[in-house]
Chain A
Amino acid sequence: MSFSAPLMENGFSSPRNESFPAGLRVLVVDDDPTWLKILEKMLKKCSYEVTTCGLAREALKLLRERKDGYDIVISDVNMPDMDGFKLLEHVGLEMDLPVLMMSVDGETSRVMKGVQHGACDYLLKPIRMKELRNIWQHVFRKKIHEIRDIESHDSFDGIQISINGSDLSDDGHMFCGEDLTSVRKRKEFENKHDDVGDHSSPKKHRVVWSVDLHQKFVKAVNQIGFDSKYEVGPKKILDLMNVPWLTRENVASHLQKYRLYLSRLQKENDLKASFGGIKLSDLPSKDPAGSFGVQSSISGNQNDVPNGRYQYSGENFFAQDLDTKNHEGDLKRVVSESTDTKSTLTADLPDPQETRSSQMSFDHSFASLDSEVNYTAIPAQYSWSEAPQFKEEHKPLLQLEDGFSQLPPSGLHHIQIDPLQSASSITSGLSVTGREICGPEKIKPLYAQFNGNHVSLLSPKESAIDSFPVQSKSHMVKHQSFEPISTAISGMKPQGFNLSCITDFESCQRNLISATDTTFAPFNEDLTVCWLQGDCHSMNFELPNVEFTDYTDPGFIAEFPIYLCDTLTSDNECPFDTPEYPIVDQGLFLS
């Protein structure tokens, strides 16, 4: 199925292509009616297509309704219903649109916060026309990065990967949809700029990450993780996967998403932990639709998860109100297309790494947990078989997260390490060794031992692992990460069980989750994850409390333990002293 034609037509009605930047679709969000009117007028004078909004929530709603309806968002920092920075994060994560912040307050700290949250620019009021005239550059830049990102991979050779929308779960479909959007954007961009990029290669189609494919991916990641902590890269994964039609670029973007997912889970975990447990009852036990095999309700049924579920009270998760459905697609796009963010991330990496090693405490404020933490947790889930991989790549983790979630990288990092360690400890307690857990298949038995509650966690993934639905999957991932831990914990008799490890793990998880939450807020699934986290957290916090049996979400369990075990095995040392973040997800995060 060729997406070119539909891509171009799809929702692409504005004349952007022809007369860029004229017709640029701008969404302006400001609670000040005077400024809203002025900005609208100014932007119209720039020949842009303007939509104004007085409330952040309304803006998000508009954005979600028309996933591809806007090119750029300009938002004020101070708004009554939602902090502008939060909005910024959401937009970045879900829609991956460039966001400009504006304020009458030009204090360095504010500006810095804006940049940290991923703002493309920070405008000071009063804003002049000339400043607005050039905002198109942010849109253009993003497109270029996308294209460069795609073209930088070898796979640009006309490999047409058809998207099996029909086979995919909702998430998968969403994924495809999003992919199309990004592909479309690329196409559109390339069409406009002939001199840019390589037109000889056909447009790449988005790959649908089926459960099988994903499992191969996870397996490959884990495998790599085993060998070298810091070398998990798309190329290697691709080689290991041995899927002829898959391109390195596909793997790279999938890896990115995976990392984000992990970090999100972790964040949720953290959040949960910080919030004192999640309401288990709130976790919807849905079918892991399309999520990475997350059995728990988290998967795919974002819609099911009540927005209110998320109890990240601390965290300002607007996600709760968000309609996760919409996010799936966006998330995907965001993940795969956030080249810009990626660059942002890189910059942040160094920090997280350092912090990570230094902080083992998991009562770090998860709200601001950086993605690193999340990554660790998440990767675990994905690669069930790769628990040992925690170590390696913190970096990639950080990167993804930073860029993706735009979470302020702070302190999260350290958390990551913890979970891994705890995971390690858990593993030791368990009879399951990381290596054994390779692959979902292995995990199954693991789960079985752990807990009757954990239903076939491993296999559920089958359905879930289709294209890494950003939203649902992330949720799932999150859940999964938690679950496994709990499962592992519950399954294991505390002997040799390092509760502290778990705690760390949980904290990491939480961090991960909370970190991810920020970004994934809109995902209801996150809520579910939180739930898991809660479980985990409760466990962690009181070390001796290793009862994960209340994991109602099998999905979590399945995923979680697997990687926990792996981690544990690989990191048998005290979880706290491993500055390296165990590679939860082989190289996903670490590289």
Chain B
Amino acid sequence: MDGVVQLQKQLVDYSASLFDEGILDEQFNQLQQLQDESNPDFVVEVVSLFFEDSERLLNELGKALEQQTVDFKKVDAHVHQLKGSSSSIGAQRVQKLCIGFRNYCEELNTEGCLKCLQQVKHEYSLVKTKLETLFKLERQLIAAGGSIPT
């Protein structure tokens, strides 16, 4: 059916763009490969966990950096966690920003940290939106009777 083929192409193109733009990396592919019949929603589940965890971390970071005396160790710990988390699904840009973020923590640079936090939040929103779109496309494709190309 044209419709399905169309949807499929759309999905493939969209997916490719995410990789091309460096929003997602190889790890995301790995996740997709792990998905199987026994766990058809694996990727969506994992990504949902990532969203939850990240939002929590971003909140914590915001709070920590607002303190009178910033506890950089704590901030660093959160960033480290965020780095690990983002690496799990391949959110490359977020992960990379975390590296710089940790440097600022080491330098006890509040300004730098705040700036990083902004950037991280931005990138996080971006990857979240993109992934949500991707999943939507997948659902549409499946609803139309198609299957997700591997």
Contacts and interface: CB of A to CB of B under 8 A. Distances in A.
A35 B46 CA distance: 8
B84 A35 contact: yes
Nearest to B26: A126
Given A34-B89, A126-B90, A104 B45 contact: no
A105 B80 contact: yes
A126 B86 CA distance: 9
Interface of A: 31-35, 37-38, 41-42, 45, 76, 78, 103-105, 125-126, 128-129
A125 B84 contact: yes
Contacts, number: 56
A45 B34 contact: yes
A41 B31 CA distance: 9
Interface string B23-52: 000010011011000010010011001101
18 contacts: A32-B84, A34-B46, A34-B53, A34-B85, A34-B89, A35-B84, A37-B45, A37-B49, A38-B46, A41-B39, A104-B80, A104-B87, A104-B95, A125-B87, A126-B27, A128-B30, A129-B30, A129-B33
A37 B81 contact: no
Contact of A37 (B46, B77, B87, B90): B46
Interface string B1-39: 000000000000000000000000001001101100001
A35 B89 CA distance: 9
B39 A32 contact: no
Report, nearest first, the 6 A-B pairs whose CB atoms are least far apart.
Answer: A104-B84, A34-B88, A126-B27, A34-B49, A126-B87, A34-B50
Nearest to B83: A104
Contacts of B30: 126, 128-129
A497 B34 CA distance: 69
Given A38-B46, A41-B34, A45-B34, A33 B84 contact: no
Nearest to B25: A126
A129 B27 CA distance: 10
A35 B80 CA distance: 14
B88 A35 contact: yes
A123 to B, nearest CB: 12
Contact of A125 (B33, B46, B88): B88
Contacts of B49: 33-34, 37
Nearest to A39: B88
B34 A38 contact: yes
Given A37-B49, A128-B30, 16 more contacts: A32-B81, A32-B84, A33-B52, A34-B53, A38-B31, A38-B34, A41-B34, A41-B42, A42-B34, A78-B77, A78-B84, A105-B83, A125-B88, A126-B27, A126-B88, A129-B34
Contacts of A42: 34
A76 B84 CA distance: 10
B58 to A, nearest CB: 15
Interface centre among A35, A103, A125, A126 (most CB of B within 10 A): A126
Contact of A38 (B52, B53, B88): B88
Interface string B48-65: 011011000000000000
